[in-house]
Amino acid sequence: MNRITAMTAVALLVVLGMTGCGTKERDELRVKVTELEQQLAQSTQAVTQKETELTALRGQLQTAQEANAQAQAQIESISRDLEQTLAELNHSKTELAALKKKKR
C-alpha cells in the first residue's frame, strides 16, 4: 500500500511539475507518468494474484488441519479399542491358565 501511495505522489509531483516545463520536458514527464501508472497497475495485479493464492493456501491449510484432527481422533479411538482388547486378551489368558491348573 505504501508503494501505491508513493507512486501516486510521484505521479502527482510530475504532473504539477509539468506546468512550469517546456514541451519536450512535458512529453518526457508524460512518458514517465505513463510508465509509473503501468508499474502501479502491474503491482496491483501482482498483489491481487498473491492475495488470491494466499486465500487458496489458507483454505488448503484449513482442510489439512481438519483432516489431521479427524485422524488424531481415529488414532485415539483405535488406541482405546486396542487397549481394551489387550486387557481382555490378558484376562482371557489368566482365566485359561487358571482353568489349565484346575484341570491338572
Grid cell of 66 as nine digits: 481438519
Nearest Cα residue to 28 out of 15, 45, 37: 15
- pTM (2 d.p.): 0.56
Q: pLDDT of 12-66, one tens digit each? A: 666 666 556 678 888 898 999 999 999 999 999 999 999 999 999 999 999 999 9
For residues 69, 70, 76 and 77, what is the CA-based torsion angle, rounded to 10 degrees?
160
Q: pLDDT of 3-13, one tens digit each? A: 777 777 666 66
Torsion sign over Cα 20, 25, 30, 33: negative
Can you give the residue ranges of every domain in the chain? 2-73
